[in-house]
Structures are given as C-alpha cells and as structure tokens.
Amino acid sequence: MAKRTPLGTVGKGRRGIGVLGWAVRGAGAGAAGTTALNAVTYLDMAIRGRGASSTPEQTVEKLASQAGISLGEGEERENRLQGLGPLTGLAAGIGSGVLVGLLRATGLRSQPVVGTALITAGVMAAANGPMVVMGITDPRSWSVTDWISDVVPHLAFGAVVKTTMDAFDRV
C-alpha cells in the first residue's frame, strides 16, 4: 500500500506496471523532456542571437581521444563532432528519463514541484557532470546569464518529464 509523505507518495500504486514498463515510459518522458529542452534552448538562441554551445562537441572530442578513437580529419571530423555532440544530450535526456521511470517502478511518487526540482538537478548533473570532470567547463566561472541559459532549459526538461510520468499514472 502507498504511504503519503509531505514530499510525495512511496509505495506501489494501483497501475500494476512492471519495471520494464516504467523504464520504457521513462525513456519516452526523457525524449519529450529533451525536446522541450532543445526548444527552449533554440528559442533562447534565436531571441538573444547567440550561437550554440561547443561543449558537447568538446566532450565527444575528448572522449574519443581518451579512447583512442579517430573521428577522421578536416570537414569529416567536424561533421562527426556536430552529429555526435547533440547525441550526447539525447542520451543524457533519455537515460535520465529511464532513471526516473525506474524510480517510479519502486513506487516513488513526488509532489510536482519537488519532482520537477529533483529531475532538473539530476539531468543537469548528468549533462554537465562529465564536462566538469573532463575540465571542459567550470560552473564556478559561469556568469548569471550562463546559469540562466543552463537552468531554464533543464527546468523545462524536468517539468515535462515529471508531468509526463504523472500522466502515465492517470491513464
């Protein structure tokens, strides 16, 4: 039976969805969240006239170098980096959604604001953590504008993932 707490509910709900079912739903929610994140990011780029971040491509380049994988030369290399960089964001978003689905499978249900905040923090850690560890970026050096440019799209991700996962409980 589910137990209510001030932060949410813990315990099996009435849906009877298995772990794999919640993981798949989480992947879908993560894909929807990633779409929202991308839309907010592209809107910010259009409004402010700013370019895309190069950190995803730098991450791929550093990982490939550390793994001894050649990405080619010249234009071919640049094209691969431009393709693989955004794929890391998709992987982080969908993977984060799967983790949310797995938590949901345990019976964890949070309040909307709490869940959105936790998902936002988690996906920011998943997206930025590897870049920080590899020395590609340092959030301590970010300006307020840099933080807003990073937090707002991730907040959109968190809100969409939370809302989508909650909707799966109502269906």
Q: What is the pTM of this model?
A: 0.89
Find the range with the poorest average confidence among 12-21, 83-92, 139-148: 12-21
Strand order in the sheet with 109-110: 3-5, 8-10, 109-110
For residue 118, what are the CA distances in angstroms to 113, 159, 161?
A: 9, 10, 11
**3-class DSSP state of 1:** coil
Q: What is the pLDDT of residues 135-164, one digit of tens each?
A: 999 999 999 999 999 999 999 999 999 999
Q: Please say whether the beta carbons of 80 and 88 come within 8 A.
A: no
**Does 86 have pLDDT greater than 90?**
yes
In angstroms and rounded to an integer, the radius of gyration of the C-alpha atoms of the chain is 18
For the chain, the domains span 17-51+87-170
Find the range with the poorest average confidence among 14-28, 73-87, 110-124, 139-153: 14-28
Query: Residue 62 corresponds to which tokens in the numbers above?
Result: 């550093």
